[in-house]
Amino acid sequence: MGEFVRVEKADGVATIRLDRPKMNALNRQTQAEIAECARQVDADPEVYAVVLYGGERVFAAGADVKEMADMPYAEMALYSATLQDCFTAVARIGKPVVAAVTGYALGGGCELALCADIRIAGESAKLGQPEILLGIIPGAGGTQRLPRLIGPAKAKDLIFTGRQVTAEEALRIGLVDLVVPDADVHAEALAYAARFAGGPALALRAAKQAVDRGLESDLDTGLEIERLQFSARFATEDARIGMRAFTEKSQAKFTGR
């Protein structure tokens, strides 16, 4: 439990809750706490899925510009590595991760949402990568995860212009997956995550790794990653339980082994 980030667990779902007034600016301490929470929920066998949430008003307004403004290059070279490590820890959570996006998700806030598998946004949400307006570029995955998600041309438009997009446009270009009334964002994210509670945790982890690693590879390498992950599931108890339940027309009760 950190000062600005905490984990809330209920019914197999963990919420990583950002709470740094007023705008959840991602300073060094907040980054470190996010990374620690990500590692915590990844290792917790009682957690089947994860929700990223910044509260009712804002998801995260980005990195703490005041903290970065006067950093010399040598210090920033080290800081940027730590910044990316924080986001990578979230992206590497081996469980379904849902970003519940309310209010602003800008700069580092948008990059944090990009680390999730699914993004659910409120109707008034605004997303974007405005770093270019500060004379810099995204540094926590925006130039890499964004084009992989929405394609290079749309990603370049957002990165080059620094403009903010509405939830409606974000849905249209594939930046978010579902838009709901603002008041329903967290509940919708929890409901989506809850469907994985009690599910085949090892298979879900393998599926996520196969997709993510495959996207970083050529097709042949990706297919080999898939083959190895697929065949490895046959060494698990969950695979035997699932296929036995199928043949017996019963409900599978997975063990996570």
Catalytic residues: 111, 131
- Amino acid identity of 133? L
Q: CB 181: neighbour CB atoms within 10 A?
A: 11
Query: ∠ at Cα 111 (109, 116), nearest 5°?
Result: 100
Alpha-carbon span 142 to 158, nearest angstrom: 10
| Residue position matching structure tokens 């035997």 | 240
Alpha-carbon span 235 to 11, nearest angstrom: 28
107 phi, psi to nearest 5 deg: 55, -120
By the 8 A CB rule, do 60 and 18 touch? yes
